[in-house]
Amino acid sequence: MMAAASSMEAEVAALRARYAAGRTRAAEWRAAQLRGLLRMATEMEAEVCHALHADLAKPHTESYVHEISLVKSSCKFAVKNLKKWMKPKKVPASLMTFPSTARVTAEPLGVVLVISAWNYPFLLSIDPIIGAIAAGNAVVLKPSEVAPATSSLLAELLPRYVDGACIKVVEGGIAETTALLDQMWDKIFYTGNGKVGRIVMASAVKHLTPVVLELGGKCPVVVDSNVDLHVAAKRIAAGKWGCNNGQACTAPDFIVTTKSFAPKLLEALEKVLEKFYGNDPLRSSDLSRIVNSNHFNRLKGLMDDQMVSDKIIFGGQRDERQLKIAPTIYLDVPLDSAIMKEEIFGPLLPIITVEKIHESFALINSMTKPLAAYLFTKDSNLQDQYETSISAGGMLVNDTSVHLTNQYLPFGGIGESGMGAYHGRFSFEAFSHKKAVLVRGFAGEAKARYPPYSPAKLKVLKGVLKGNLGVMIQAILGCPRGK
Amino acid sequence: MAPGLGAMGEKPAAATTTKHLCVGSMASGLREVYESGRTKDMEWRQSQLRGLIRLLTDKEEEIFDVLHEDLGKHRGESFRDELGILVKSVKYTLQNLKKWAAPEKAEAPLVAFPATAMVVPEPLGVVLIFSCWNLPLGLALEPLSGALAAGNAIVLKPSELAPSTAAFLAANLPKYLDSRAVKVVLGGPNVGEELMEHRWDKVLFTGSERVGRIIMTKAAKHLTPVALELGSKCSCIVDWLDGERDRQVAVNRIIGAKWSTCAGQACIAIDHILVEEKFAPILVELMKSTLKRFMAKPGGMARILNEKHFQRLSAYLEDTKVAASVVHGGCIDPKTLTIEPTILLNPPVDSDVMTEEIFGPILPIITVKKIEDSIAFLKSKPKPLAIYAFTTNESLKRRIVEETSSGSVTFNDAVVQYALESVPFGGVGHSGFGQYHGKYSFELFSNKKAVFKRSFLIEFMFRYPPWDDSKIGTLRHVFSYSYILLFLTLLGLRR
């Protein structure tokens, strides 16, 4: 372990030296890396899908739609906008410092660490490093060991497609991650859960490293009666079970709807689920499996909880050997049950009913802020109220999950669901420092600035700071006279 | 009319002191106030900002008095560095608030049609601000104005090391602002620690690296996001300058940014100078004569804060090699805690005065053979809050910007970047993270919520399982935005 830690130190030091030599700064280098990643995602599609299937039994289509295509569009977007993002922005300089010019220039932070998660192991590894590279940093990527096939594929592929001297993959588990967190980083980007998020932030204190934490939460879905029910049911089902069988940070965690509408919603969901996965969902190849036995046992525990086991109204089938759990729906579980207190991260969907749909707001606000909050309704008043009453990283009306495919929207959490955001330009900014540059000349000297102070000087300063043009001109002309 | 102002006849809440502090109930009280929606209301925010401006104008004399009591600042300096800038800044925020708080439309891709995408700024909730003793008014009220503009409820903990200003804030903020949503908490480090045992929606800390680490460690337990404005050694490069006028202007500005800014006790004060050995004698002579003029009358320089800092600064001069490098000043008076403006020429680079942030009226000048050598010097040090350079050489300017990293760079002046609302103010690396001033203050205390609205119209069946190859093919067209191919596929004209 000691040898590993000191060799890691040496590796990071070497990265730092290459960064300091300016290797990652030029736009050409950055664009070349991004194109390399794009080529990798295109040429290695089959290999990536194969690894994702090994790790998660992820259906090919999900792998393509949710991981590969998002990586490709992210690369293309970054390449297209790179020059624009890199260009310094002129800003107004104050009349107070006349004559002067001011600009804000984006510079890389230096050497950054990206720690990825197991549920979208390809996307959540490459998407953040796209931002880090576009911003001109050297990068270390630590893929999740809980998705080992994807981790070793990334370790093998990245050096073939990008500059392996400045972009490194370090594989491993807790020991290796701890050793990495001990090194000096200019930024740490972590995707995962709140418990480890706290450990990452606490480790970051050592070198005063700023962090982005993309964490989880319970993403609520409020379903009004004023909806196109069939479409809503499909979109909810796609966002829940069509996303890694519920193992996604933006998957709908639970539904809130009115008592009167619940039966209709339930019927629509059952119909959709049968269409998607057939009569025997455990046999469907379109359903991901649970990632490992730890998580399977965790979900089993939630299902077998006495408080909720009699509230199950659909599904419940499971196969421990294959680590598969079928889409399962509960009705009105107690709010203090484990399934309503923890992030489910699996194919269990509680439906909570209320008398009036507005009661859902108080319920959601009593919980910690989620990464995403969903609402299905055609009522624009209800939409507005939801938007102003609920705080979340992101909000989506009449659909689930797709907002994260929009490169123009920041993607990140708030409160327990995280801090910082990325995607598109926000990725570039997450890994940049906005440096203010103010350029003055030697003209425009205002004696009133300097001691010895006097009431006359104070008067001039007041005029200048209030923006009084006449006083400013006087100041520039050298009033008050004398010292 | 926004509710809750003292002026409307309500009794303002008394400021809490350590004896009566119960952070838990204060925090939950503030959260209730926040959740009632009171602070989100645009009129409330505007009324608070106007209240701040009134406070700063009504109480101008008292402000000069407390700043003089705490730091011996002359009113000229107090106005220039704290009061005047604050008023300007809050007015700027008031003018731009509606624009900053408005939702921003974002593009939505055609495949999502019909859809609208927006980024909606919302307040974070209940935030905590720790301010520092050296600009005790500015470092408290500038972030406070940003937090108010963003619609938050606020706890302000001013530094106990500037007690008159802290007491002034505790007495007056409840009178001019909504005391139910803005609280001032007085006390020392133990109070700060107690505050940090709780969760906040954001913490802004201005102060030393040592305490910054404590704050961040405690924040990590609750996943409280933090912004740290820390100290650093701000370098000032002085290139060969031609002409008497340019030289005099440069020296004026250097002296202004060192001794005239809280006697050098400022995070953006010039810490030390780097100059070519040929130019050094010219620089030193001009600085001496200008210092004499500037400091002719008493009140030209603020006081050293207290005994502890006086000892710290005197200790720098006790190092024999450092003492031998004094070329101007060097006299200290323990009775009055005075250290006169002191210039050192080439003290050893490993001495304390060259490795620690000086934060005082001692200015080391380090000579280099060629001015370009100063860039290598800068690169070997931790990233500072500011780098200054007095030069007319465009290529040197470009190299400084491109090859060094710092919170900010200012050419041919110093400290003035603090007064500019259009540029972000904050550190990088060891000088901290998080930026404020102007719109950045608003954004520091906001959550940019992504809001994406779709309609039920236009439903693409190929989004859903059961999967097959033709669906995948269609999706490929969608994701490469091949709209024509997509259209043809939908019409059934292509597989």
Q: Which domains does chain A have, with CATH numbers?
A: 5-215+423-434 (3.40.605.10), 219-412 (3.40.309.10), 444-483 (no CATH)
Task: Tell me whether residues A433 and B428 touch, CB distance under 8 A.
Answer: yes
Per the structure block, which two tokens stand in for B365?
């000048």
Closest CA to B45 of B84, B4, B74: B4
Q: In this predicted model, what pLDDT tens digit does every residue of A358-370 receive, in sequence order?
A: 999 999 999 999 9
Residue A315 has a pLDDT of: 96
pLDDT tops 80 at residue A473: no
Dig out the tokens for A235 from the structure: 């979109």
CB contact under 8 A, B221 and A403: no
What is the residue type of B117? A
Question: If DSSP states are collapsed to H, E and C, what string results for A374-406?
Answer: EEECCCHHHHHHHHHHCCCCEEEECCCCHHHHC
Residue in B with minimal Cα distance to A426? B448
**Contact in structure between B399 and B391 (CB atoms under 8 Å):** no
Q: Are B387 and B377 in contact (CB under 8 A)?
A: no
pLDDT at B383: 97
State mean pLDDT over B361-367.
98
- Percent of chain B at pLDDT above 90? 81
**Residues of B with CB below 8 A from A482's CB?**
none
Residue from the list A204, A242, A449 with its beta carbon closest to the beta carbon of B80: A449
Average pLDDT value for chain B: 91
Query: Nearest C-alpha of chain B: how many angstroms from A12?
Result: 16
Q: Is B142 exposed, middle or buried (0-12, 13-18, 19+ CB in 10 A)?
A: buried
Give the pLDDT score at B457: 76
Give the distance from residue B320's alpha carbon to the nearest chain A alpha carbon, in angstroms: 32
Q: What is the pLDDT of residue B483?
A: 64
Alpha carbon distance B434, A161 (integer Å)? 34
pLDDT at A479: 59
pLDDT confidence of residue B296: 86
Nearest partner of B205 among A415, A368, A107, A205, judged by Cα? A205
Lowest-pLDDT choice from A279-288, A425-434, B10-19, B57-66: B10-19
Q: Do A438 and B223 touch (CB under 8 A)?
A: no
Res B21: pLDDT: 63
Average pLDDT, integer, range B56-67: 97
- pLDDT tens-digit series, residues B223-256: 999 999 998 999 999 999 999 999 999 999 999 9
pLDDT value at A7 more than 90: no
Average pLDDT, chain A: 94
* Contacting residues for A137 by C-beta, under 8 A, at least 6 apart: A19, A24, A108, A109, A110, A111, A112, A186, A187, A431
Inter-chain contact B467–A286, Cβ cutoff 8 Å? yes
Cβ distance A438 to B411 less than 8 Å, yes or no, reads yes
Active site positions of A, annotated: 214, 249
Percentage of chain A beyond pLDDT 70 is: 97
pLDDT band at B8 (very low <50, low <70, confident <90, very high): very low
Q: Tell me the C-alpha to C-alpha distance, in Å, between residue A12 and each of A15, A126, A179, B429.
A: 5, 20, 11, 16
Proportion of chain A above pLDDT 90, given as a percent: 86
Q: Cβ contact (<8 Å) for B106 and A434? A: no
CA distance B50 to B148: 11
pLDDT above 70 covers what percent of chain B?
91
d(CA A306, nearest CA chain B) in Å: 31
B229 is catalytic: yes
Residue A185: per-residue pLDDT: 98
Cβ neighbours of A461 in B, within 8 Å: 76, 79-80, 84
Q: Which of residues 271 through 290 in chain A touch B, CB cutoff 8 A?
A: 275-278, 284, 286
Look at B433 and A210 and tell me if their CB atoms are within 8 Å. yes
Find the residue in B nearest to A104 (Cα).
B423
Nearest CA in chain B to A434: B424
pLDDT bin (cut points 50, 70, 90) of residue B285 is: very high
* Tokens (6 digits) for B34: 């926040």
Chain centroid to CA B267: how far? 10
Chain B CB contacts of A442 below 8 Å = 245-246, 249-250, 412
Write the DSSP symbol of residue B85.
H
B-contacting residues of A 376-405, CB under 8 Å? Answer: 378, 383, 387-388, 391-399, 402-403, 405
**Which tokens in the block code for residue A194?**
């709140």
Our CA-based measurement puts residue B347 at a distance from the nearest CA of chain A, in whole angstroms, of 28
Nearest to A69 among B407, B430, B479 (CB): B479
Q: Do B413 and A410 touch (CB under 8 A)?
A: no
| CB contact burial A229-267 (16+ within 10 A = b; e otherwise) | bebbbbbbbbbbbbbbbbbbbbbbbbbbbbeebbeebbe
Q: What residues 327-356 of chain A have any CB closer than 8 A to a CB of chain B? A: none
CB nearest to B409's CB, from A227, A435, A441:
A435
pLDDT at B426: 97
Minimal CA–CA distance to A347: which of A246, A233, A274, A250?
A: A246
Of the candidates A92, A198, A411, which has its C-beta nearest B450's C-beta? A411
Which has more confidence, A479 or B68?
A: B68
B245/A442 touch (CB, cutoff 8 Å), yes or no: yes
pLDDT at B18 over 50: no
Q: What is the pLDDT of residue B14?
A: 45
Chain segment B292-350, per-residue pLDDT in tens = 999 888 778 988 999 999 999 999 999 999 999 999 999 999 998 889 999 999 999 99
- Restricting to A residues 302-331, those with a Cβ less than 8 Å away from any Cβ of B are none
pLDDT of residue A330 exceeding 70: yes
The pLDDT of A334-352, averaged and rounded, is 97
Write out pLDDT tens, residues B383-425: 999 999 999 999 999 999 999 999 999 999 999 999 899 999 9
Residues sharing a CB contact under 8 Å with residue A481, sequence separation 6 or more, in sequence order: none
Q: Sort strands B408-411 and A432-440 into parallel, antiparallel or unpaired.
A: parallel
The predicted pLDDT at position B464 comes to 81
pLDDT at B83 over 70: yes
3-state secondary structure labels for all residues of chain A: CHHHHHHHHHHHHHHHHHHHCCCCCCHHHHHHHHHHHHHHHHHCHHHHHHHHHHHHCCCHHHHHHHHHHHHHHHHHHHHHHHHHHHCCEEECCCHHHCCEEEEEEEEECCEEEEECCCCCCCHHHHHHHHHHHHCCCEEEEECCCCCHHHHHHHHHHHHHHCCCCCEEECCCCHHHHHHHHHCCCCEEEEECCHHHHHHHHHHHHHHCCCEEEECCCCEEEEECCCCCHHHHHHHHHHHHCCCHHHCCCCCEEEEEEECCCHHHHHHHHHHHHHHHHCCCHHHCCCCCCCCCHHHHHHHHHHHHCCCCHHHEEECCCEECCCCEECCEEEECCCCCCHHHHCCCCCCEEEEEEECCCCHHHHHHHCCCCCCEEEEECCCHHHHHHHHHHCCCCEEEECCCCHHHHCCCCCECCCHHHEECCECCHHHHHHCEEEEEEEEECCCCCCHHHCCCCCHHHHHHHHHHHCCCHHHHHHHHCCCCCCC
Cα dihedral B56, B59, B60, B65, rounded to 10, equals -130
**Residue A107 contacts B, CB cutoff 8 Å:** yes
User: In this complex, do B117 and A442 lie within 8 Å of one another by their Cβ atoms?
Assistant: no
A440 contacts chain B (CB < 8 A)? yes
Candidates B82, B262, B267, B276; catalytic one: B267
Split at pLDDT 50, 70, 90, the class of B16 is very low
Q: What is the number of CB-based contacts under 8 A between chain A and chain B?
A: 291
The predicted model gives B116-129 an average pLDDT of 96
CA-CA distance, A410 to A412, in Å (whole number)? 6
Name A257's bridge partners.
A223, A353
A102–B425 CB contact, under 8 Å: no
Tell me which chain B residues have a C-beta less than 8 angstroms from the C-beta of A364: none
Q: Which residue has the higher pLDDT, B22 or B152?
A: B152
Average pLDDT of B63-84? Answer: 93
**Model confidence pLDDT, tens digit, residues A295-323:** 999 999 999 999 999 999 999 999 999 99
Q: Give the model's confidence band at B494: pLDDT under 50 very low, under 70 low, under 90 confident, else very high.
A: very low
The shortest C-alpha distance from A289 to chain B (Å) reads: 15
B295–A102 CB contact, under 8 Å = no
